[in-house]
Chain A
Amino acid sequence: MIFFLMALLLHIDIVSTAIDSQYCSEKVTIVHIVVCLKQVPDTTEVKIDRKTNTLIREGVPSIANPFDLNAVEAALVLKEKYGATVTVISMGPPQAKEALRRAIAMGADQAILLSDRSFAGADTLATSYTLAQAILKLQDAGGVDLVLCGKQAIDGDTAQVGPGIATRLNLTQLTYVSKIESVDADGKHITVERKLENGVEIVRGNLPALLTVVKEIYKPRYASLPCLIESLAYEPVVWNAKQISADSSQIGLEGSPTWVETIFSPPLREGGVILNPGDENYDKEFSGLIDTVKKIVAEERSKLVCS
């Protein structure tokens, strides 16, 4: 019994030191988190302009990119844990303030809109440059420990802007993050789970880092009514090209080497075959199916041998 109690006490002691080191240590861990958020057309209603190969945005409702809201939520969870400040930034036209207000309603501390006519027509290269310039400005003003992005935007689906920012700012790049395991007490490392096609990878990286997150990380919270009402009147800070010291050759259309040759919907995958053991020709069809599969496997195999 006594042993048990001692063990318990010891355990509590260990836990409390852990908490101490997380919350009360001299070394500060996460102080400032920047989340990049994009306003996108609701892709359930998207149409393509056949002449220009661009998305028709007229009349299509805009929403905050869903993966970015997962990133906002992740930032807010870290904020609650470490008392960090959360800044949300977006590049876009003035209407994008709407998406930023959503993050404010959820609990972000401030929102900055990067808006300038010269930003228009940016591809992922120019966009990552513009966002990186803004983050640089925030870094200069007092540091940025963590940048969070959604894994990709649902309109372009490129997943390039997050990595682009990481590269430009020389941040540790951790993509497809499904869980933030821990932040080291010394504030120098972060451990995350990455959701990959063939499994989960646990990675420890240096801070400051840039994470792109998948939706499994956290479900965006439903804002409380007072926060929502407050956010409706919130005016995001607007920074133009000059205010982020942007090089005019690297922003907007001019800084965008990408052009779209063509755009199309991928062909629908054909439905599979369903065979019922009770069916009349079941045996015949089944053996036919096996033959087909064998043939495909043989073909693929011969390709492998040849190469």
Chain B
Amino acid sequence: MNRIEFDVVVVGAGPAGITAAYLLAKEGLKVALIERGEFPGAKNVMGGQFYSYPMRDIIPEFWEAAPLERAVSEKQLWLLSRESKIGFSYKNPQFGAPPYNAFTVLRAKFDRWYAEKARQAGVVIIPETLVTGIIKKGTQVIGVKTGRENGEIYADVVVAADGVNSLLSKYAGLHGEIESRNVALAVKEIIELPQGVIEDRFQLEKGQGVTIEFMGEFLKGMVGTGFIYTNKTTLSVGIGCLLSDWVDNGVSPYDLIEDLKSHPVVRPLLQKGTVKEYLAHLIPEGGYRSLPPLYTDGMLVTGDAAMLVNGLHQEGSNLAIMSGKFAAETILEARKAGDYSARTLGAYKKKLDESFVIKDLKKYSNAMPLLENNRHFFSTYPRLLSDAADEFIRVDGVPKKKKQRMILKGIFKRRGIIGIIKDALSAWRIVK
């Protein structure tokens, strides 16, 4: 029997894998893209923000054809106390016009569309196929084994784009089981509402959207956020917290999402909506400190598999695309040099290091440990702020000067002056 041979085998048809495969096929390489689901996107549950950079460089004006939900023209942050909220918002209608800053997206549809572009460029998409191992010659990865009969595929180089908890990285010994403090568990409901209702309720121009992040007491002290993203005719409503926190707190994600949905200021936004889907997924939010080795002889690791997620800015899909692009560039260089060893493939890591991808992750490398050790940001401060606002706004015969004193007293009582200074310093270390 003839061996199945390709120039490149990409495992996982998400944004990282499709990007790498698409760009390589465009250069004339013979590329196989292996997908576990029935079709690319079939297994994807991501419904959130999708930044248009760098996708807009890969397929110019992709928004003309791609299935996107809404152009995000407003970002809001709500701090929730038990019954009230304080909100911050930045709205810029320019974000709702080309080249757009971000879209809300349901990736199940988007990935399918993007993969079709890759197929048209010549990528052989192999669906419903699980990769069960890698094939090595010495230290060099030279192919993958799949769960199908006669399922070995050989290639000069393998791109692991198989998502969080990457099997390929494990097969290659690049990392073991992921630590629960390095991944967030996001749970989400898709709630259906008529398009016009969504636009009225969230004060949106037609086709534009808003993202709202929630912090506050409903998180029960866990490190994470809640969110509502507006899609065309649905809302993505959910909560993402560190997996270790869910475990330690013994909180059921389902209960917590119900708490958020029934919060007095959140509930009106969801009124009369019907829950269409309930989804959950792991997001590798461990940041810079959790990055696994990104390459080895004959293999590159991209996207979620490489833990390339910026949790604070909700960047993931775009970083995946960036890594797919760098992987493709590196492979073309390696092909020219005729060398697919780690020595040549190391250029991939260098490209990432020099780009905003790793620079941003590095900038926030202290964030996760600090936030993990300081739960006040997610619970105490939203409460303090809302108490202060409440006191300040409520007219009840108490003189304003006295109110100010009461507010300050309340704050110091809850957190203490030293605590507040410490928190301010941590906050500075996170964002500096």
Q: Which residues of A contact B (CB under 8 A)?
A: 59, 61, 63, 222-226, 228-229, 232
CA distance A63 to B127 in the complex (A): 13
Q: Mark B57-101, 1 if CB is under 8 A from A, else 0.
A: 000000000010000000000000000000000000000000000
Residues of A close to B42: CB separation below 8 A: 61
- Count CB-based A-B contacts (< 8 Å): 39
Cβ contact within 8 Å between B150 and A232: no
Q: Mark B262-302, 1 if CB is under 8 A from A, else 0.
A: 00000000000000000000000000000000000000000
CB proximity of A49 to chain B, nearest CB, Å: 15
The answer, among B32, B39, B151, for a CB contact under 8 Å with A61, is B39
CA distance A288 to B152 in the complex (A): 66
Residues of B close to A226: CB separation below 8 A: 1-2, 4, 150
Cβ contact within 8 Å between B126 and A224: no
Residues of B close to A223: CB separation below 8 A: 148
The answer, among B38, B124, B147, for a CB contact under 8 Å with A229, is B124
Residues of A close to B148: CB separation below 8 A: 222-225, 228
The answer, among B109, B125, B153, for a CB contact under 8 Å with A225, is B153
Nearest chain A residue, comparing its CB with the CB of B41: A61
- The residues in B between 169 and 203 inclusive whose CB is less than 8 angstroms from any CB of A are none
Cβ contact within 8 Å between B149 and A232: no
Residues of A close to B39: CB separation below 8 A: 61
CA distance A87 to B176 in the complex (A): 48
Cβ contact within 8 Å between A232 and B125: yes
Can you list 13 pairs linking A and B with CB atoms under 8 Å apart?
A59-B67, A61-B42, A63-B38, A223-B148, A224-B148, A225-B126, A225-B129, A225-B149, A225-B151, A228-B129, A229-B4, A229-B32, A232-B124
Residues of A close to B112: CB separation below 8 A: 61
Knowing A61-B39, A61-B42 touch, does A225 contact B124 (C-beta < 8 A)? no
B146 touches A (CB below 8 Å): yes
CA distance A226 to B150 in the complex (A): 7
Knowing A59-B109, A223-B148 touch, does A228 contact B38 (C-beta < 8 A)? no
CA distance A63 to B338 in the complex (A): 42
Residues of B close to A59: CB separation below 8 A: 67, 109
CA distance A232 to B34 in the complex (A): 13
Residues of A close to B147: CB separation below 8 A: 222
Residues of A close to B32: CB separation below 8 A: 229
The 4 closest A-B pairs by CB, nearest first: A224-B149, A225-B148, A225-B151, A224-B150
Residues of A close to B125: CB separation below 8 A: 232
Residues of B close to A63: CB separation below 8 A: 38
CA distance A12 to B393 in the complex (A): 98
Q: Mark B1-13, 1 if CB is under 8 A from A, else 0.
A: 1101000000000
- Supply 6 further A-B pairs (C-beta < 8 A) apart from A223-B148, A229-B4, A229-B124: A224-B148, A224-B150, A225-B149, A225-B151, A228-B126, A229-B32
